[in-house]
Chain A
């Protein structure tokens, strides 16, 4: 078993078949006895429906080698907000009237928070499963939200580094003044820098995961103008975010002769056939093996 799992991130327009392909691939890998973890970070995920499972919990073992998880963003968000709320109450005890609950109800709708919770979910799952899985598959939300998630990662990296630099200057000055006034260094522990460094740790781990040689970004498109145009947009936006698309799957193709634009010429491309409706498990093992071979060998 490898020390790090091979990670495949499925991206693409809504409805192109990200969940179908990732589920099929994960099933196929588990049939080959490769321990696989499939995570969906789509807030409107239907991963459990695909496996005909009721949503009584967010994690389910499908067989000995396959575990699937639908990230419960709502409860994760509430957990994070409550953590801050409790810290607020502990720090500002002198305020007798501290009715923050109503204020914090609004915070969960703040821009960027949903994206952060998605990133946090990937990080937590990755840390949990990295030592005992061969494959880690991530089923992502449609383009808009996914690009926001990836942008947040890049913006956070820049912000956190600047804030840590500034905070370190503040700590230096405080220690210097303490030393001048009391002739000794008080060396107080600074909680904000601890929080910022913890966030940097999360962001760095995710950056490493997304730029790792074992991580492949797989763009799924259909052979129609809309999804091809959106595919081109995803490729160019990912380039801006220093993420490269490694592989393109043209799903729901009726024949093998597909006309793809020049933008896709330099990519490995694989086609998957149109399936009959009502049948979730669609691809034969040979098709799926082909994807893994094209990605890693």
Chain B
């Protein structure tokens, strides 16, 4: 009983963290795609902005590339963000 309650409480605390992490990942993905839109076929941002930022947004590029790999499995992505395994 006590263990069940504890898991519910953990869920309440960790739920928003997971969702915020998911949201952050999406924002980083959008940021990378806006800076390097050619990887997704969008119109290009002024080249100098991409060039200035290139050395510093490695993380965002990795997030964007990972998102592209798992892009066709949105259902699994949603389930994993809700901690359903």
A180 to B16, CA, bound (A): 10
Given A166-B30, A167-B31, A173-B27: A156 and B51 interface contact (C-beta under 8 Å): no
Interface hits, B34-68 → A, CB 8 Å: 34-35, 45-49, 51-58
Q: Answer whether residue B80 sits at the interface, using C-beta atoms and an 8 A cutoff.
A: no
A112 to B53, CA, bound (A): 16
Tell whether, in the assembled complex, residue B52 and residue A199 are in contact, meaning their CB atoms are under 8 Å apart: yes
Interface hits, A182-233 → B, CB 8 Å: 191-192, 195-196, 199
Q: Answer whether residue B20 sits at the interface, using C-beta atoms and an 8 A cutoff.
A: yes
Q: Which of B27, B30, B34, B55 contacts A92 (CB 8 A)?
A: B55
Q: Answer whether residue B23 sits at the interface, using C-beta atoms and an 8 A cutoff.
A: yes
Mask: chain B, 7-32; 1 = CB below 8 Å from A; 0 = not: 00000000011001101100110110
Residues of B contacting A163 in the complex (Cβ-Cβ under 8 angstroms): 31, 34-35, 45, 49
* SS of A interface (majority): helix
- Which 6 pairs from chain A and chain B are nearest by CB? A87-B55, A116-B48, A173-B24, A91-B55, A110-B47, A191-B56
Tell whether, in the assembled complex, residue A91 and residue B56 are in contact, meaning their CB atoms are under 8 Å apart: yes
Total residues of chain B contacting the partner, CB 8 A: 25
A264 to B16, CA, bound (A): 63
Total residues of chain A contacting the partner, CB 8 A: 36
Q: Answer whether residue A51 sits at the interface, using C-beta atoms and an 8 A cutoff.
A: no
Tell whether, in the assembled complex, residue B49 and residue A156 are in contact, meaning their CB atoms are under 8 Å apart: yes
Please give me the residue from chain B that is nearest to A159 by CB atom: B45
A181 to B30, CA, bound (A): 24
Q: Answer whether residue A78 sits at the interface, using C-beta atoms and an 8 A cutoff.
A: no
